[in-house]
Amino acid sequence: MLLLASCVGLAWSWSTRTVGGVRTRSAPAAAAAAAGLAADAAMAADATDAAEYLWRGEVPLPGADCQERLVGASPGVALRVLRWSPTDSAAAGRRPLVFVAGWGSVFEGWRPLLTTWASRRPIVYIETREKKSAEFDFRPNVADFAMARHADDIAAVLAAIGVAPSSVDWFSSSLGATLLLDGFQRGALDGRASVMLAPNPAFKFPLWARPLLRLPLPRRGDARVQPPGVWGGG
């Protein structure tokens, strides 16, 4: 029997857009504008380089060996999977925990928790298809991000790496928790026990917040928003 534990919470997300352009000005003003744009571009490039580590590479944790793989989840879609196996043989023989984080969430936001767990039991951390780490062989559309697609991805990844869903415990948050509910209801997923943090019946912004999604944000501001956004992911 699958045991479920659910915690209701509030997930925040940020949506940004970048705009640019130079108006015709006098020579000194145009030079200053060009210098400002160059500084913005440099800062944006630095932010991109700094953020790349969030989506690529193995993540060593104390007392565990780490392996990173891109695993085919459906035709043309591959997901990043991180696996930690405890160096202690007794801990390595315990049931695996499958960890599915929320919408846009990065590993760094969960590092303290996973650092504690990784030496105690095997961990399978799966990054869902809306994240930057996912690879597509085609241009996706809205239908490619339906909840059922996410849940079927998880089932396919576990099958590909040889982990039986019925043998695992689950930990999930926000989107991760929601897709697990979908998978459990449809019979696409199974498990021994599941802890769900803040599952969402729908992803809807309040009316007052919707205009904010359309506001432009300069590149310099985008670079400064990224670090707190890492820790705010669900």
- Percent of the chain at pLDDT exceeding 90: 58
pLDDT of residue 8: 42
Give the residues across from 4 on adjacent strands: 194
CA dist 128 and 150 (Å) reads 7
Report strand pairing: 193-197 vs 169-173. parallel
**Cβ atoms of 3 and 191 closer than 8 Å:** no
Sign of the CA dihedral 35, 41, 46, 47? positive
Q: Kindly report the CA angle at 170 between 166 and 176, in degrees rounded to 5?
A: 120
Predicted TM-score of the model (pTM): 0.71
The CA-based angle 98-173-196, given to 5 degrees, is: 75
| pLDDT tens column, 31-75 | 444 454 444 444 444 444 556 777 888 999 999 999 999 999 999
Residue 234: pLDDT band (50, 70, 90) is: low
Q: What is the average per-residue pLDDT within 65-90?
A: 97
**Type of residue at 9:** G
Per-residue model confidence (pLDDT) at position 66: 97
Decide if pLDDT at 86 tops 80.
Answer: yes
Q: What is the pLDDT of residues 18-30, one digit of tens each?
A: 334 433 333 444 4
Contacting residues for 2 by C-beta, under 8 A, at least 6 apart: 184, 190, 191, 192, 193, 194
State the chain's mean pLDDT as an integer: 79
Ranking 55-64, 110-119, 214-223 by mean pLDDT, the lowest is: 214-223
